[in-house]
Amino acid sequence: MQIGLFSVSDVTTDPTTGVTPSEYERIKVQVAIAMKAEEIGLDVYAIGEHHNPPFFSSSPTTTLGYIAGKTSTLNLSTATTLITTNDPVKIAEDFAMLQHLADGRVDLMLGRGNTGPVYPWFGKDIRQGIPLAIENYHLLHRLWTEDVVDWEGKFRTPLQSFTATPRPLDDVAPFVWHGSIRSPEIAEQAAYYGDGFFANNIFWPKSHFQQLIRFYRQRYEHYGHGKAHQAIVGLGGQFFMRKNSQDAVNEFRPYFDNAPVYGHGPSLEDFTAQTPLTVGSPQQFLERTLQFRDDFGDYQRQLFLVDHAGLPLKTVLEQLDLLGEVLPDLRAGFAQGRPADVPEAPTHQSLVAAKKAAAESLRPNRAPRRPRWRDDTTGSGQRRHEQSVVDEAAG
C-alpha cells in the first residue's frame, strides 16, 4: 500500500490571521511539504494542474522535477494532469523527461478537470470532454508504447512517422492512474488498458465512489487483466488531527468554513458525517481511514489532502508529524489479512521486472499476441476502440 499526499495548489487567505500567502510562498511550500513527506516515510507526493486563480500549479512537471532533485525515495505524481486540454505529445515528452530525471520515481493521474473556462482557453470544447479524454489517451498510450507513430484523429493534427522523445526510461512508460469523481466512461477507459483508477474520495458519500469502483473492478476483470479484487485502485482522503479531538475541531473549523473547495456549504459536522473527512484525534483518524478498506476492498494507493484552505506551513508540518506517528499502525492495519494475490501499487521497478518476466516467458520463435484492436491508415481501428469505450460504459 502506497500512502502519500496530494495538493490542490490553492492560494487562500488564512481566515484566522487575514494573511494571504504569495504564489512564490505557496510554490516554495510544496517543496518543504514534499521533503517532509519523505522524511516521515510517506511514499507519494502529488500535485494538481490548474490554470485559473486561486490556484498556482499550471506546470506540475516543473515542480515535480525540482522536488525530484531534493528527494531520493519519494514517488512523484500528479493530481491531476489534464488529458483534455493538454496535447498528448507534450504530455508524453514531459513525463518521459521527468521519468529520466527522477530515476523512474514518476507516475501520473489523468483527468478531465473541473473548471469549465479552461477548455476554451486551450481551444477545446467542454462538451467534448469525454471524447477528448478517450482519444487523447489513446494517442498518449501509443506514443509511449510505439517507437514510430502514424496518427489521425478528430481533435489534433495528424502525425506521420513521429517519435516522441525522450523514450520512456527502460522502455517502460510511467504508470497511469485515471482520476474521476463521476464518469463511468473514465472508469471504463482505465479498465480497458489495465491502468489504475483513482477516486478522489473527499467530497461525496462513500456509496457514490463504491459504485464507480465496483464498475471499474468488474470491467478490469472483463478485459482479462486479472480478478476484480486485483484491480489497481487509489483513493483520496482528508484529515485534520490534534492530540485532543475537540482541539482539532475548534482549530480546523474556520479553515473549513472558508475553504475554496467546500466552504460556505454544509457544516463541518455534516461534512465529516457524510464524507471521509476526519477531524479529530490520531486514533480517530486511524480507525476512520482503515474503514476505507472495508468500504472499497483492498486497494493500492491512499493520498491525503492536508495542504489547503489557508493552513500555514507550520500547521501542515505538524499534521505530517502526527501522521508519521500513526503511519506504522496505518500500514499494519492495511496489511493485516490482505490476500496474497492482491498486487501492490505499480512502481517503475515492478513494471520493468514484469516486462522482463513477460519477455522471458515467450517461447522461442513464438509470434506476439495480436492486440484486441489495431489502427490502420484510415483510422477506423482507432474509432472502433474509442466508440467501444463509450458504448461499454453507457451499457
Query: 308-356, pLDDT tens digit by residue?
Result: 999 999 999 999 999 999 999 999 999 999 999 999 999 999 999 999 9
Check whether 132 has a pLDDT greater than 80: yes
Check whether 16 has a pLDDT greater than 70: yes
C-alpha cell at 91: 504530455
Q: What is the pLDDT of residue 380?
A: 44
CA proximity to 260, closest of 14, 28, 58:
14
Mean pLDDT of the chain: 91
Better-predicted residue by pLDDT, 15 or 391: 15
C-alpha cell at 153: 484523429
Check whether 376 has a pLDDT greater than 50: no
| C-alpha span between 211 and 182 (Å, rounded) | 10
> Quick one: angle between helices 313-335 and 282-296, nearest 10?
50
Taking the whole predicted model, whether its pTM rises above 0.95 is answered as: no
Check whether 27 has a pLDDT greater than 80: yes
CB-based contact 129:84 (threshold 8 Å): yes
| C-alpha span between 220 and 197 (Å, rounded) | 10
> Quick one: angle between helices 129-145 and 380-394, nearest 10?
130
Residue-number span of the structural domain to which 50 is assigned = 2-394
- The CATH number of whichever domain residue 125 belongs to comes to 3.20.20.30
Q: What is the pLDDT of residue 386?
A: 54
Total of domains in the chain = 1
Q: What is the pLDDT of residue 374?
A: 38
Check whether 373 has a pLDDT greater than 70: no
Confidence band for 391, pLDDT divided at 50, 70 and 90: low
Please write down the long-range contacts of 182-186, taking CB distance under 8 Å and 24 or more positions apart. 182/208, 182/212, 183/112, 183/130, 184/212, 184/215, 184/393, 185/130, 185/133, 185/134, 185/389, 185/390, 185/393, 185/394, 186/111, 186/112, 186/130, 186/133
CA proximity to 278, closest of 225, 287, 335, 338:
287
Check whether 379 has a pLDDT greater than 60: no
Across 126-140, 337-351, 374-388, least confident range: 374-388
CB-based contact 11:56 (threshold 8 Å): yes
